[in-house]
Chains A and B, each alone.
Chain A
Amino acid sequence: AAGVIQSPRHLIKEKRETATLKCYPIPRHDTVYWYQQGPGQDPQFLISFYEKMQSDKGSIPDRFSAQQFSDYHSELNMSSLELGDSALYFCASSLGAGGRTDTQYFGPGTRLTVL
């Protein structure tokens, strides 16, 4: 069965550079979530989209922006990168309007390293 695809899997950037992470949800899934997991930390919710509209926002820095496109894939744009942005970024998708019982299916993550 098709799963959530994230690209790239690994990304190395310098401080103050920009990065774009991509997420391709499971076909027919209309909701996308982004999570950030720092070293030794629990994953933290960043932002979510339903039907191309932002549905919820967590602890996402102002330097980050995201959107969901007409084909439901999503991109997380990160500017003015800082060392503290080094983390594993997970994307998840679900079918539905983000009800609390909807199952989220996770991608393998993108590991971002900022030097």
Chain B
Amino acid sequence: AQSVTQLGSHVSVSEGALVLLRCNYSSSVPPYLFWYVQYPNQGLQLLLKYTSAATLVKGINGFEAEFKKSETSFHLTKPSAHMSDAAEYVCAVSERGNKLVFGAGTILRVKS
């Protein structure tokens, strides 16, 4: 069965600094990976997804993620953090039947 591990339940960065949110997966089949963002009182919003095309995936709001099979990782990055990026970020892998298996989430705090 697939699983997802997100290192760091809370990450704090200064405004303008690099954002790096870590996600490692375990999968017995070729993985399809997703990053979602969740703002308070809102549903999960898709940031980007990897579906075996390009290993560097660009998403919305300036985020991107790189799929590294050798490291079983799909880390999320953004060169320069904005205050509006403060939210919870959740990594997920798609299993058979497209049910998603989620990581525990990382809460990003952006300091001014």
Interface status of B84 (Cβ within 8 A of chain A): no
Could you tell me which B residues sit within 8 Å of A by CB distance?
32, 34, 36, 41-46, 49, 51, 94-105
Chain A's nearest CB lies how many Å from the CB of B58? 15
A94 CA / B49 CA spacing, docked (Å): 14
Beyond A42-B105, A100-B94, A101-B51, is A33–B46 a contact (Cβ under 8 Å)?
no
Interface status of A102 (Cβ within 8 A of chain B): yes
Residue of A nearest to B49 (CB): A103
| A100, B43: Cβ atoms closer than 8 Å | no
Residue of A nearest to B96 (CB): A100
1/0 per residue, CB under 8 A from B, across A71-86: the answer is: 0000000000000000
Question: In this complex, which of B49, B98, B99, B104 has the most chain A Cβ atoms within 10 angstroms of its Cβ?
Answer: B98
Tell me whether chain A's interface is mostly helix, strand or loop, or mixed. loop
A67 CA / B32 CA spacing, docked (Å): 27
Query: A108 to chain B: which residues have CB within 8 Å?
Result: 41-43
Question: What are 20 residue pairs bridging A and B, where the CB atoms are less than 8 Å apart in the complex?
Answer: A31-B98, A33-B99, A42-B101, A42-B103, A45-B101, A48-B97, A48-B98, A56-B98, A58-B99, A90-B44, A99-B98, A100-B32, A100-B95, A100-B96, A101-B51, A103-B46, A106-B45, A108-B41, A108-B42, A108-B43
Q: Can you name 14 extra interface pairs (CB under 8 A) apart from A35-B100, A108-B41?
A: A33-B100, A42-B101, A43-B100, A56-B97, A90-B43, A99-B98, A100-B98, A102-B98, A104-B46, A105-B46, A106-B43, A106-B44, A107-B43, A109-B43
